[in-house]
Structure 1
Amino acid sequence: MELQAGETLLVSGATGNFGSAAIAIAMAMGAGRVLAAGRNAQALSELVHRFGQRLCPVHLTGDAEMDAAAMRQASPQRIDAVLDFLPPSAPASLARTALMAVRPYGRTVLMGGVGMLGGEDLALPYPWIMRNLITVSGQWMYSREIIPDCIALVRSGLLQLEHFALAEFAIEDINHAIDHASTHAGAFNLTVVRP
């Protein structure tokens, strides 16, 4: 996606593990504003509490027109980039609405699971994408090249790991680790098994 400092990023599916981590990284990279779009109002409120004024919550309803209006209203600046982390259970219309919120010459990266469980497929608005010179790319997880960049953000103090609660288990305690992960699921909760 190559997010630039000062840009406005819309994270769709922001209340899950991947979306919330993407917000933390975008803030560390100098995003001017991050729009956190999601359906869980309590999780959106927690994101605002963690990240402050540069984060603007957008509560999604599933109604394409209302959601599009909410996205436009949330950002006084144009949206430079969209990062989609919607789960397989989300309707494809939410991903399409987020994609179409980006400015001309904007970028959208699809990393979620819309359509993966055999549900509605994402119908992209071909003429609109072409006329507005939108870049749409798919990305499964992340590339290896990003790992040193994330480590550099942590070392510099820009990416603050205090946001994350870490529970560590020895490999011999793998069953306890699995139980812990299932009962403590959620954004910013990490379960790690050390060999």
Structure 2
Amino acid sequence: MRAAVLTRFGAPLTVRETPDPEAVGGEVVVQVLAACVPPYAVEVFSGRRNYPLEPPVIPGIGGMGRVVGVGPDATRLRVGDLVWCDCTVRSRDDALTPDITLQGWSSRGDGGARLARHLHDGSFAELMRLPTENVYPLPAEAEDDPARWASLGVYVIPYGGLLAGELHAGEALLVSGATGNLGSAAVAVALAMGAGRVIAPGRNRAALDLLDDRFGPRVRPVELTGEEATDRAAMSAAAEGPIDMVLDLLPPAAPSSAARAAAMTVREYGRVVLMGGVGMLGGADLALPYPWIMRNSVTVRGQWMYPRPANVGMIRLISAGALDLGPEQVRTFPLDAVNDAVEYAAAHAGPFDRTVLTPPAG
């Protein structure tokens, strides 16, 4: 098969022939039809994000495709099935605290690194080998536009955060980082789940206007100034009532003060879910006041990626039309143009802007 290979950090990806993967027990091989290229991929491949990838590696964080091979223990999947490929792989030998790797992308701890060496390669290839439990059947209509459906991988991440925070219909949610690629996806998913209103702070006026135009009065845009107390007051005022939950999706370059300003708008007994990258590149850590958390009975929790059932829930939301993929701005690239795709994705990181690699010829 042909695949895009990261030979070393800082070098362009090389498209070359590599051995076809083979499914053994507990595994599936999928022909990749479409895989999203994250806007920050250039930071990963350059080494700036210091992800624990071990070159040479075929990168990529999941996608959609068609089953071409199954292991002997698969009971329902069949060759030819259209499927979603989830990159979040969990070890099978610890039910309480499984090690995790994002196949072809990142991992957590020594156990995650060992898992990554076994399931080393991602979706920037014609074929991909995955654990059987990481493959989810898709409805027939997904075949009409695989590139658009590949954005499922963007939406399922904030969906995991919203599930972790137990967002209920009618509640008020503040999305910290709402004008970014993941943050804007969180706004859309929250509304699809029935949020009563979503406060959307950001510094990009054009992106805020886009959210306002697309979703109407249930979204309350707030243009930030960078001054913590001023911004906190503006976000609270925009809610016109208590904020039940805050979901933080700010990128690594964002200051911790921005995350703190958003988090501290939450009501008494409210929930704060942290999914962003604040502090990953150095700088001040997030410092939430102990007395404020304790006396207001605030729940603060972290969430990396999402639980397995979130994949099924996300597929259902899209299939039902609750989450409309129609407005997505999708630009596709063939496998041979993978470096152009990485460059394009970095320059088009705004709301609902998707860069998609389509490995099959044509």
Equivalent residue for 1:104? Answer: 268
Aligned-partner residue type, residue 44 of structure 1:
L
Q: Distance in 2 between matches of 1:43 and 1:163?
A: 14
Q: Tell me which residue corresponds to 1:122.
A: 286
The answer to whether structure 1 residue 194 and structure 2 residue 358 are counterparts is yes
Comparing 185-194 with 41-50, which one deviates more in the overlay?
Answer: 185-194
Partner residue, 1:90: 254
Deviation, 1:132, is 1.1
* CA deviations over 1:25-59 (Å, ceiling 9, x no partner): 00101100000011111211111011111000111
* Kept in 1: contact 2:183–2:249 (CA 8 A): yes
1:5 maps to which residue?
Answer: 169
1:105 aligned counterpart, secondary structure: strand
CA, structure 1 residues 176+68, in 2 after alignment: closer, same or farther (shift >3 Å)?
closer
Task: Provide the identity percentage.
Answer: 59
- Give the paired residue count: 195
- Asked whether 1:173 is paired with 2:337, we answer yes
Q: Distance in 2 between matches of 1:179 and 1:72?
A: 37
CA distance in 2: counterparts of 1:34 and 1:151, whole angstroms: 22
Q: Is the 8 A contact 2:251 2:278 kept in 1?
A: yes
2:324 pairs, out of 152, 157, 160, with 160
Amino acid at match of 1:192: V
Instruction: After TM superposition, give the deviation of residue 175 of structure 1 in Å.
Output: 3.2
In the alignment, which residue of structure 2 is the partner of 1:40?
204
Give secondary structure in 1 for the equivalent of 2:337: helix
TM-score with structure 2 length normalisation?
Answer: 0.52
Instruction: Give the stretch that moved more between structures: 176-185 or 66-75.
Output: 176-185
For residues 45-82 of structure 1, give each alpha carbon's deviation from its aligned partner in whole angstroms, at most 9, with x where no partner exists: 11101111100011111111111110111011200000
Aligned to 2:6: none
Local SS of the residue matching 2:345: helix
DSSP-derived class of the 1:88 partner: coil
* 1:138 counterpart (302, 316, 334): 302
Instruction: Give the RMSD, CA atoms, in angstroms.
Output: 1.4
What amino acid does structure 2 have at the position aligned with 1:107?
Answer: R
Residue 55 (str. 1) matches residue 219 (str. 2): yes
1:65 is matched by which residue type in structure 2? Answer: A
- Give yes or no for the alignment of 1:76 onto 2:240: yes
Question: In the alignment, residue 186 of structure 2 is paired with which amino acid?
Answer: A
User: What is the CA distance between 1:106 and its match in structure 2?
Assistant: 0.6
Q: Which residue of 2 aligns with 1:20?
A: 184
Letter in 1 for 2:240: P
Does structure 2 conserve the Cα–Cα contact (< 8 Å) formed by 1:62 and 1:91?
Answer: no
Structure 2 counterpart of 1:182 = 346
Take 1:106 and 1:183, find their aligned partners in 2: how far apart are those partners?
36
TM-score, normalised via structure 1 length: 0.94
In terms of Rg, which structure is larger?
2
- Secondary structure of the 1:81 match is strand
Q: Whole-Å Cα distance in 1 between the matches of residues 307 and 215 of structure 2?
A: 26
Instruction: Determine if contact 1:105/1:133 at 8 Å carries over to the other structure.
Output: yes
Q: Which secondary structure does the structure 2 equivalent of 1:74 belong to? A: helix
Q: Unmatched 5+ residue regions in structure 1?
A: none
Return the alpha-carbon distance in structure 2 between the equivalents of residues 193 and 72 of structure 1.
Answer: 40
By percentage of residues, which structure has more helix?
A: 1
Gaps of 5+ in 2: 1-164
